[in-house]
Amino acid sequence: MNLFFRELRAHRKSLILWSIGVVFMVAGGMSKYGGLETTGQSMNDLMASMPKVLQSIMGTGSLDLSTVSGYYGVLFLYLIVMTTIHAAMLGANIVSKEERDKTAEFLLSKPISRGRVITSKVAASLVNITLINVITLLTSLVVVQYYNDGESITPDIIQLMIGMFILQLMFMFIGTAIASVYKNSKAATSLSTGILLFTFLLSVVIDMNSKIEGLKYFTPFKYFEAKHLLSGGSFEVVYVLLSLLVIVSSIAVTYVFYQKRDLSV
């Protein structure tokens, strides 16, 4: 339990900074909607006239920017990228930081098993990404409601946050798995974020070219899209199962390789 709280304290500053970033992202993004509210249809026409590549990168797609839900749907894409980067970096850093900080000798001198060590680290990571998710949810509910003068979209926001949390779990455990295999902390972090950015770019390319839509199963950013969930859609079973497969596989790799690795002391 002491190791669990040690990890929480070690990442406290990072958690605060990322939380502030999320709050400013939601508040700042939605404040722009307040300024564009009267020209929403003009914004839709402007976005429609843009090249498809820009539409894909900006996440507009079929979303209606004249509505608060459509505008938040665009903002949600950037929130997902932000929170999953945090999750991937956290997962990689929390496992490999003993080599980076030269504290492996201190850790190994404690009368605790490798299994307990990695469990404490994973538990601390889960607390961090859960807090980020809850802060994003609460901020979104408050800010969106402030600008919303129509039907409540609280259930839609909650559904989006559930999807975001699943993505956070996926990339966090991908990070822990990679860090358990690679002892180099910089390499683990770079590879984790590299995989994330590659899958994000793949989702953008898929939006640009419908002929490669079959590749959507290889990018988690297509699993819980705002344009699908905000239009009355629900979680698709195949995407939920793929997410669980990635999470469970990454957890298995994390525990198996962490038990075998030789920490540099």
Question: Which residue has better confidence, 61 or 66?
Answer: 66
User: Which residues have C-beta within 8 Å of that of residue 53, sequence separation ≥ 6?
Assistant: 204, 208
The residue among 203, 176, 193 whose CA lies nearest residue 257 is: 176
**Helix (H), strand (E) counts: the chain:** 11, 0
Report the pLDDT averaged over residues 157-180: 96
Mean pLDDT over each residue of the chain, to the nearest integer: 85
pLDDT at 40 over 60: no
**Per residue in 83-130, pLDDT tens?**
999 999 999 998 887 666 555 555 555 667 778 888 989 999 999 999
The confidence score (pLDDT) of residue 247 equals 97
Q: DSSP E strands: which ranges in the chain?
A: none
CA separation for the pair 1, 124 (Å, rounded): 10
Residue 158 has pLDDT above 70, yes or no: yes
pTM for the model stands at 0.89
Mean pLDDT of 14-33: 92
H or E segment at 126?
A: helix 114-147
Closest CA to 26 of 126, 152, 129, 135: 135
Q: What is the pLDDT of residues 175-217, one digit of tens each?
A: 999 999 987 777 888 999 999 999 999 998 888 887 888 899 9
**Low-confidence winner among 34-38, 110-114, 133-137, 164-168 (lowest mean pLDDT):** 34-38
pLDDT of 68 higher than 60: yes
Give the C-alpha separation, 28 to 16, whole Å: 18
User: Does residue 14 surpass a pLDDT of 80?
Assistant: yes
Residue 207: the pLDDT is 82
What pLDDT was estimated at residue 265?
45
Interval 211-232: pLDDT, tens: 888 899 999 999 998 888 887 7
> 264 pLDDT exceeds 60?
no
What average pLDDT does the segment 41-66 reach?
60
d(CA 41, CA 65): 7
